[in-house]
Amino acid sequence: MIYGTGYGNGFPDESRASAELTSDGKVTVFVEVTDVGQGAKNVMRQIASEALDMKVEDIVIKNVNTSYMMDSGTAAASRQTYNTGNAVLNACKKLKEKMDEASIKDKEKVFKYMADNAISPREEGYFKANTTSVNLETGEGNPYWPYTFSTNKAVVQVDDETGKVDVLEITACHDSGKIINPLMAEGQIQGGAAMGIGYGIMEEVIFNKGTIKNQNFNDYIIPTSKDVPKVKTIFVEEIENSGPYGAKGLGEPSMIATAPAIINAIYDAVGVRIYDLPASPEKVLKALTSKREKHE
């Protein structure tokens, strides 16, 4: 799997952040990074902590009020760690340089020094992704940067009498640059693999004359804990020089390779290729029946 980070194709992909030293010696990072469970706030705190050479506990993230912060772009396209992380890094590096000029270790005294010398305790950070639109005639261009890579291995068991597929094992190997928070990244990959299993063998929106028939989780089947095997995660930390401390995107890439790996495993097990997801028992059994009839 290869996945381009960000909006891509020359679309303006910008992030902004601010970092401000406060009177209690802590730094508040104003960044409109929406955290929908991917751990973005913690990642921004870690980036700021590293840039400022301060404890993570002394970094405060403010991210829920657009009246006092600038636009960081959406929590989409696996762009927040890379794009907005770079904006946070930019702001914090500039603030660190300003703080170092005081030659004082105590951050509260640094704040007083800045106040006494009319030095602003706040710095702004900015980052814009480097992409261009593709020339449709030549195929040339720089539609995305950077790219995340992944490969998944799936082990399945197929009941050739019912068509039921059980996923026994998933191994997910990812190159997402330097992993800033390994525990959260591992959890994200496990969640992505679970979604990939659902996409591959269970989840399907059924329409009848324009109306969705399975409108709730009684009928729209998703994986439970019993459907998801242990997911082994492997990180290939190939440093991305343009990313914050070498990081790249990980959100959507965490699930993209799983379903194809499952479909390939089904083919390896029983010799039928499913092209219409999900590979439900009905579809697998139909393909098996068709295969048997051809060989009779």
Domain ranges of the chain: 11-128, 147-295
Q: What is the per-residue pLDDT for 95?
A: 98
Token pair listed for 125: 């950070």
Confidence (pTM): 0.92
Residue among 135, 61, 136 nearest 92 (CA):
61
Q: What is the per-residue pLDDT for 77?
A: 93
d(CA 90, CA 99): 14
- Give the CATH number of domain 11-128; options: 3.40.50.880, 3.30.365.10, 3.90.1200.10, 3.40.50.2300: 3.30.365.10
Low-confidence residues in the chain, pLDDT < 50: none
Residue among 185, 15, 131 nearest 83 (CA):
15
Token pair listed for 269: 């097990």
Q: What is the per-residue pLDDT for 138?
A: 95
Q: How many CB atoms lie within 10 A of CB 285?
A: 18
Residue among 68, 267, 44 nearest 154 (CA):
267
Contact 149/128 with Cβ under 8 angstroms? no
Q: What is the per-residue pLDDT for 68?
A: 83
Q: What is the DSSP letter of 179?
A: -
Give the three-state DSSP class for 257: coil
Token pair listed for 33: 């990074």
The architecture of the domain spanning 147-295 is 2-Layer Sandwich (3.30)
d(CA 72, CA 62): 12
Task: Note whether 11-128 and 147-295 share their fold.
Answer: yes
262 membership: H or E segment, kind and range? helix 258-270
Tell me the catalytic residues.
252
Q: What is the per-residue pLDDT for 148?
A: 96
- Using alpha carbons only, give the angle 179, 180, 183 rounded to the nearest 5 degrees: 80
Q: What is the per-residue pLDDT for 69?
A: 84
Contact 65/31 with Cβ under 8 angstroms? no
Give the three-state DSSP class for 164: coil
Q: Is 119 exposed, middle or buried (0-12, 13-18, 19+ CB in 10 A)?
A: middle
Contact 207/270 with Cβ under 8 angstroms? no
Contact 75/33 with Cβ under 8 angstroms? yes
